[in-house]
Chains A and B, each alone.
Chain A
Amino acid sequence: MYDMKALYEASSVADAVALRLAHPEAQIIAGGSDVLVQMRSGKRAGKELISIYGLDELRGISIDEQENIRIGSLNSFSHITRDPIIQKYINVLGQAVDQVGGPQIRNIGTIGGNTCNGVTSADSASTLHAWEAVIELTGPEGIRREPIRDFYIRAGQVDLRPGEIQTAILIPRASYENTYGHYIKYAMRSAMDIATLGTSVNVRLSPDKKTVERCRIAFGVAGPVPMRAPRAEAAANAQPVSPELAEAFSQTVLEDINPRDSWRASRAFRQHIAVESAKRAFVESVRLAGGEL
């Protein structure tokens, strides 16, 4: 038995919004792999829950009319990894979420829950930042969309307003077209561990594959929320592909990030692995894009 005050099961998105307004103190539960664990530990004990897990309308991955990749918020990690649209256009996201927890966690954990939880170490978060994902929120006034960087306010706090639930994550065409990326999770063990640092890089090369047209990089655990590294990106954009570029790009990362000392790793160690991961992920992204280094 969970120490739960009450459970409200939403029967539709509109019902979920109504329940959110009727029970403003209640916690939304999607897959529950964070919420139920926190309830068990006492952190969320005695709370009311609004379950949206039954809303199949929030599952499935498609390309919408504006050619965005539309990922319903309740897609589990394992379904994202296996999805043909993800594999074709943004395979790195499938690879990143395939490193969350273990197999059973990847069957229950959802990408919506992973982002609404607001933690910097979420394996999906750095890749979604690096691909400039757009968060779709549905509330009493209808649907609004917001760039993922604005959605994360501070550690554990996202821009989910009264009555709202997250209904989808969108990847715009301009973001995924001709773009290839790689994610590196640095953790103490290969399964059931939280990232010491997560690094997601993607590049779009010129048609002759000699020049970096656009490079984007985002980190998890390099700061209180997932973050892009704009100076490093600027150092790589419009530059010829070369080993020297990989080196310069990865060193510039240190001007952008601000990792902390924690029991998991020191600031100095995180800085060290940030540079090394940035370099390796850049080299792999260029290779996937058809470039030579």
Chain B
Amino acid sequence: MAEKHVMQYKTVHFNLNGKDVERTVDVRASLTDLLRNDFRMTSVKKGCEVGECGACNVLIDGEAFNSCIYLAVWAEGKHIRTLEGLLGPNGELSDIQQAFVDEAAIQCGFCTPGFILTAVEILESGKEYTDEELRKLLSGHLCRCTGYQNILRAVKKTMYRRLGKEWTEPSSPS
């Protein structure tokens, strides 16, 4: 029914987790497609693919974006970070990842990379946020397992640690 599609490609150059890279991409690709298919960044999950669930979240020039509604060609010249970029040289977990483990902020794990990258943006602002502010800042992610409380706790704990402050955990609700 439709006329024959003419393939259209573009070469994009960007920095991925600290390394300069380039790829020739189909212009119809989303950034999720590019990161998963061309770079095997499988932490970038395909969830809703309409910008609602946050599972595909990555950091672009330090800000959180849902990569499913971001054209791959827009990556040109950008600094992009995925969860893989948080690991140490020997695969060590970063503080925020360890906090997610320690606080049982993970169950199935599908939402986790997206949440952690938003947490990185929050933590790198160097600000101290109230619980209400943190809830708003984390509100672009859906988690169907944890009920969010442990995620909030993991982010909050890491925020206080990075600010050099002690945070005493309130007794857990029964």
Determine if B52 and A192 form an interchain contact, defined as CB atoms under 8 angstroms apart: yes
Across-interface contacts of A105 in B (CB, < 8 A): 51, 66, 140
Q: Is B167 at the interface (CB under 8 A from chain A)?
A: no
Determine if B50 and A190 form an interchain contact, defined as CB atoms under 8 angstroms apart: no
Contact of B30 among A2, A103, A104 (CB under 8 A): A2
Which of B2-10, B14-22, B96-104, B154-162 lies on the face that meets chain A?
Answer: B2-10
Given contacts A1-B30, A2-B28, A37-B50, contact A107 B139 (CB under 8 A): no
Determine if A107 and B33 form an interchain contact, defined as CB atoms under 8 angstroms apart: no
Determine if B8 and A6 form an interchain contact, defined as CB atoms under 8 angstroms apart: yes
Determine if B65 and A108 form an interchain contact, defined as CB atoms under 8 angstroms apart: yes
- CB-nearest residue of chain B relative to A45? B2
Chain B contact residues: over half helix, strand or loop, or mixed? loop
Within 8 A of A (CB), among B24-46: 26-30, 33
Determine if A103 and B140 form an interchain contact, defined as CB atoms under 8 angstroms apart: yes
Query: A2-B71, A101-B51, A101-B140 are known contacts; what are 10 more A-B pairs with Cβ within 8 Å?
Result: A1-B33, A7-B71, A40-B49, A51-B71, A53-B71, A53-B74, A54-B74, A103-B64, A104-B57, A105-B51
- CB-nearest residue of chain B relative to A105? B51
Contact of B139 among A36, A54, A192 (CB under 8 A): A192
Distance (Å) between the CB of B68 and the closest chain A CB? Answer: 8
- CB-nearest residue of chain B relative to A32? B69
Determine if A104 and B29 form an interchain contact, defined as CB atoms under 8 angstroms apart: no
Q: Is A207 at the interface (CB under 8 A from chain B)?
A: no
Determine if A40 and B50 form an interchain contact, defined as CB atoms under 8 angstroms apart: yes
Given contacts A6-B8, A105-B66, contact A190 B139 (CB under 8 A): yes
Q: Is A78 at the interface (CB under 8 A from chain B)?
A: yes
Given contacts A40-B50, A46-B2, A78-B63, contact A32 B139 (CB under 8 A): no
Q: Is B165 at the interface (CB under 8 A from chain A)?
A: no
Q: How far is the CA of A146 from the CA of B28 in the complex (A)?
A: 35
Q: Is A243 at the interface (CB under 8 A from chain B)?
A: no
Q: Is A4 at the interface (CB under 8 A from chain B)?
A: yes
Contact surface of A with B, Cβ cutoff 8 Å: 1-7, 9, 29, 32-33, 36-37, 40-41, 46, 51, 53-54, 78, 101-105, 107-108, 190-192
List 22 contacting pairs A-B, 8 Å CB cutoff, sorted by A.
Answer: A1-B28, A2-B28, A2-B29, A6-B8, A7-B8, A7-B27, A7-B28, A36-B69, A37-B69, A51-B71, A53-B74, A103-B118, A103-B136, A103-B139, A104-B54, A104-B64, A105-B51, A107-B64, A107-B65, A190-B139, A191-B139, A192-B52
Q: Is B137 at the interface (CB under 8 A from chain A)?
A: yes
Contact surface of B with A, Cβ cutoff 8 Å: 2, 5-6, 8, 26-30, 33, 49-52, 54, 57, 63-66, 69-71, 73-74, 76, 118, 136-141
Determine if A7 and B73 form an interchain contact, defined as CB atoms under 8 angstroms apart: yes
Q: How far is the CA of A5 from the CA of B136 in the complex (A)?
A: 37
Q: How far is the CA of A1 from the CA of B63 in the complex (A)?
A: 23
Determine if B136 and A108 form an interchain contact, defined as CB atoms under 8 angstroms apart: no
Determine if B63 and A41 form an interchain contact, defined as CB atoms under 8 angstroms apart: no
Determine if B51 and A37 form an interchain contact, defined as CB atoms under 8 angstroms apart: yes
Given contacts A32-B71, A33-B51, A53-B74, contact A104 B33 (CB under 8 A): no
Distance (Å) between the CB of A284 and the closest chain B CB? Answer: 19
Q: How far is the CA of A40 from the CA of B70 in the complex (A)?
A: 12
Given contacts A5-B5, A41-B50, A53-B74, contact A192 B140 (CB under 8 A): yes
Across-interface contacts of B139 in A (CB, < 8 A): 102-103, 190-192
Distance (Å) between the CB of B47 and the closest chain A CB? Answer: 12
Across-interface contacts of B73 in A (CB, < 8 A): 7, 9, 51
Q: How far is the CA of A105 from the CA of B48 in the complex (A)?
A: 14
- CB-nearest residue of chain A relative to B5? A5
Across-interface contacts of B71 in A (CB, < 8 A): 2, 7, 29, 32, 36, 51, 53
Distance (Å) between the CB of B32 and the closest chain A CB? Answer: 10
Counting chain B CB atoms within 10 Å of each CB, the highest count among A1, A102, A104 belongs to: A104
Q: How far is the CA of A141 from the CA of B136 in the complex (A)?
A: 44
Across-interface contacts of A33 in B (CB, < 8 A): 51, 69
Across-interface contacts of A190 in B (CB, < 8 A): 136, 139
- CB-nearest residue of chain B relative to A192? B52
Q: How far is the CA of A190 from the CA of B128 in the complex (A)?
A: 22
Distance (Å) between the CB of B78 and the closest chain A CB? Answer: 11
